Amino acid sequence: MALDLTSLPRPSRDDTTVSSMARGLVGSEILRIAAEIRELVAKGNKVCNLTVGDFSPKEFPIPDGLRDQIGAALQAGETNYPPSDGVLDLRQAVQRFYERSLGLKYPLEGITIAGGARPVIYAIFRAVLDPGDVVIYPVPSWNNNHYAHMLGAKSVVVTTDAAAGFMPTLAQLEPHLSTARLLCLCSPLNPTGTMLDPEALRAICQRIVEENRAREGRGQKPLILMYDHIYWVLNFGKKHVTPVALVPEMAPYTVFVDGISKAFASTGVRVGWGVGAPTLISRMRDVLGHVGAWAPKAEQVATARYLDDTQATESFLTTMRQRVEVRLDALYKGFQRMKDAGLPVDAIAPQGAIYLTVRFDVVGRDGLTTNDAIRKRLLEKARFAVVPFQAFGLAADTGWFRLSVGATSVAEIEEALPRVEATVREILAAK
C-alpha cells in the first residue's frame, strides 16, 4: 500500500523551507491568464486567444524538412549527450547562417548551443553579473526583471512610451550607462512587435564603446550588451540591424540571443544559441553545462542539416512572414477602422515578431480602473484574450496590451473584431 503524502503543505509565499530568492520570484502573469482561458474553453466558449507567444501547430507547423531530419536523427541513434557547447555541425551551420544572412562571421568559439533562448539569457546574466551589479532594461520587455531577481542584480528600469514604439532612446539610457554591467535590448521587441531604429541603435552602441574605452583605462569591467533578436527574421518592411554591423567596435561587448523557436515556429523543439565574443561565450558554455541546459542531440543534428538547406529555409521563411503578417494586418486594420469610427482604441502598425500593440483607452469608464479589468471585460464579453503590458513590467494602467497571432487564424480574428467593437461601444454607453 502506497504511503499517502497528499496532506503535505501547499506552496506559500511565507514558506521558510525555500530561499528568499525563491520566495520573491514572481510566477508568469501570462500563464495565469492562460488558466482563465482554459477554464472558459472547457465550458464550451470559443475564445480568440491572442495571449501566448507561441505557435499553434495547426496554424504554424514546423518545417517539413526539420521534422523529417529530427526523425532521421532519432532513427540513427543520436540520443546521447551532446557536447556542452553544442554539436559541432550545428555550431558551424549557425556560423554560416550568420555570415550569409547578417554579414557577421564569428569564430566557432563564439557560438554556443542551448535548449532554447531562455537558457542563453540566463547564462548571459550568470556569466556577466555579480550580486549587486546593475542591469538596465527598458519596459515593456520580456522577463528581464525575473532574471535580475534570480541573480541578485540591481535593476534599473527605463520606462518607454508609444511615441518611440516603446523602444528606449540614448537620452533615456545615458544617465545609467556609467554604472551598469549589463544592458538588455530586444528587437523586434516582445511584447510590442516594434523594432529599433538603426540610428537610435547606432547612437547607443557608440556610447557603449566610449564608456568601455574609459573603463579600460581605469581597469574596470566593461558594459555588456545582451541583444535578443530571436524574432529577427520576422520583419515587415523594416530592415533588421545588429549592433556589431552598425558599430564593429561593439563585437567584444555584444552577445546575441537567437534560435529556431520563433523563426521556424519550433518553440517546443528547444534549440537556441548565443553568439558573441569567445571570452563571454566560453563562460556561458560552462554555466549551461553545469545546469544541463543543452538542446537534445537529435534536434541539434537535425537543425544543422536544415539550416544548411538554404533553399528550404528561405522558402519556409518567406511563407512564414506572409502568414504572420496577414494576421497582424487583419488585427491592425480592424482596430484602425474602430479608431476611424471614433472609438477610443489605437494600434501601432506591425513591424516585426508576432505581436501587435493595441490600446483600449477606457480606463476610468464603466468601472474599469485597471488594465486587468479591461482584459477581463474583453475576455468575458468579447471572448477576446489579450495580455496587459503589466505582464512585461510596465506599471501604469494606460490601456496598452500585447496581442499575439501565433495561435489563431485570420478567420478567428475577423470573427472576433465585431465582438470587440460591440464591447467597447457597450463600455462607452454605460453610465
The CA-atom distances, in angstroms, between 215 and each of 100, 145, 172, 179, 223 are 34, 26, 21, 10, 9
According to DSSP, residue 344 is labeled: S
| pLDDT beneath 70, residues of the chain | 431
| Cα–Cα dist 381/419, whole Å | 8
First to last CA, the chain: 63
pLDDT at res. 33: 87
pLDDT at res. 85: 96
pLDDT at res. 431: 64
| Cα–Cα dist 321/60, whole Å | 11
pLDDT at res. 16: 82
pLDDT at res. 196: 97
Antiparallel, parallel or unpaired: β 400-404 and 355-360: antiparallel
3-state helix, strand, coil in the chain (%, to 5): 45, 15, 40
pLDDT at res. 425: 98
Structure confidence by residue, pLDDT tens digits, 313-322 = 999 999 999 9
Which residues, 6 or more positions from 43, have their beta carbon under 8 angstroms from its beta carbon? none
pLDDT at res. 385: 97
pLDDT at res. 296: 97
Which residues, 6 or more positions from 239, have their beta carbon under 8 angstroms from its beta carbon? 198
pTM of the model: 0.96
CB 91 within 8 A of CB 109: no
